Structure 1
Amino acid sequence: MADFSVAEAKARLSELIERAEKGEGVVITRHGKPVVELRPLAAAPRRITQAELDRLAEQRKAIVRKSGGPNAVDLIRGVREDGWL
């Protein structure tokens, strides 16, 4: 892990950001005491698009149709009719 004073960090900020992005520990000090650590942000999870959700819903419906089994509504209705809910 490399330490840099605030003055050094101001002069070399782009370089320090690149080093941190590559995984190198970068600490900025003030009066010799560590105050900031530069490190890359964790990758954000990819958001699922509406088109992908729609496609998954269609795939689920196709599986239920092929299986010939009851859908969730029918299952819940049956449980209620049998007095379980």
Structure 2
Amino acid sequence: MIKASVREAKARFSSLLDMVEKGEEVLILRRGRPVAVIKSVGEGAPLTSMRALRESISVKGEPASKAVVGMREDYRY
């Protein structure tokens, strides 16, 4: 892992990004303490379809829309 101070990172940002593209990670230090890491996003995990995501989430209790309607009616009276 490459280490760079904030000042160095600011001055060499483009070259640091080139290194990150090649697989390196850059640790940014402020006054000698780590504050950030720059690393490649790579290919990333493929996004699942929204339908598969919705199906994977289980909903319990009453829908929020019914709860809101109930609260509104309680507030009026």
State TM-score, norm by structure 1: 0.49
Q: Which has the higher contact order (CA 8 A, sep 6+)?
A: 2
Which residue in the other structure is 1:55 paired with? Answer: none
1:42 is aligned to 42
Aligned partner of 1:60 in structure 2 is: none
Which stretches in structure 2 are left out of the alignment for 5+ residues? Answer: 48-77
Offset, 1:3: 0.6
Range with greater deviation from structure 2 (23-32 or 35-44)? 35-44
Q: Which residue of 2 aligns with 1:14?
A: 14
Unaligned runs of 5+ in 1: 47-85
SS in structure 1 of the partner of residue 19 of structure 2: helix
Task: Look up the equivalent residue of 2:18 and give its one-letter code.
Answer: E
Residues paired across the two proteins, number: 48
Runs of 4+ in 1 over 2 A off after TM superposition: none
